[in-house]
Structure 1
Amino acid sequence: MENQKTAVPMWFWAVAAFALLWNLMGVSSFLMQVSMTDESLRALPLAEQELYNSYPLWTYIAFAIAVFGGMIGSVGLLMKKKWAKPAFIISLLAIIPQMIQNLFFTNAREVYGPGTEVMPILIIVFGLFLVWFSTLAINKGWLK
């Protein structure tokens, strides 16, 4: 029974591919933020410069863990590996404090205006979804 293959539905692959693309966008955003030159930073409006400079180091560390954990989890889904779930859990555990910091302890809403909350909330919801989805995939026998 252990060697028996369980058919994986096509929509699983669509979700796994979307998860990878989503997390690659996160990795790209992280790399752009941490590699921003002083010249690029000075080209931003003063309010955005101050916002970028206000982020504590731990938020960058959490950002890295969140996006690289999500990317690794997504690769795990595509490889049909159970270790995708712990990678998504680690990612989510980094997402939550980072987004709480962004939503409640910065002036991002004043800098970017109404609607600033949408992306952080969407990121948290998708992180929760990926933990749930990987659990479902394990329970269905799609991940080994």
Structure 2
Amino acid sequence: MKKAFKFIALSTLIAASGCTSYNISQPAAPIDSQVKADLKADVAVGEAISGQSSVNILFGVLKFGGDNQFADGVTYGGDTGGGLGMLDPVSAVKSAAAYKAVKASGADLIVAPRYEVSEENYFVFKKVSVTVKGNKGSIRSIQ
């Protein structure tokens, strides 16, 4: 009986002294910084340019088809989300259309871009098409 009591007491002691994790909070303050550049660009506005791109989306997450080159450095807002933290499919297609417009025209940027977004939604399958129209912008100098 003594051995059984010792075994139960030892088992209880081991079970009660399991792993412990500690979480220590550290007060934090948000970092609010602003970067200012007093640069002025001289942009020559040229003829009208446009670009078009589209992508197929399966189950709202899996993108297939479409382009693999995108304009970078600009945030493109969209109405729909890609789900699971994936890149917004509308903004990805906008970025690809902008890349095509700039690349085909030899522009540095698109002046006053206007996006026409078309979505064909078939519940499981969706096709997103975007056309961007604007004017060719060429940077002459930056001061």
Fold conserved between structures, TM > 0.5: no
Higher RCO, 1 vs 2 (CA within 8 Å, ≥6 residues apart): 2
Q: Which has the larger radius of gyration?
A: 2
TM-score normalised to the size of structure 2?
0.24
TM-score normalised to the size of structure 1?
0.24
Larger fraction in helix: 1
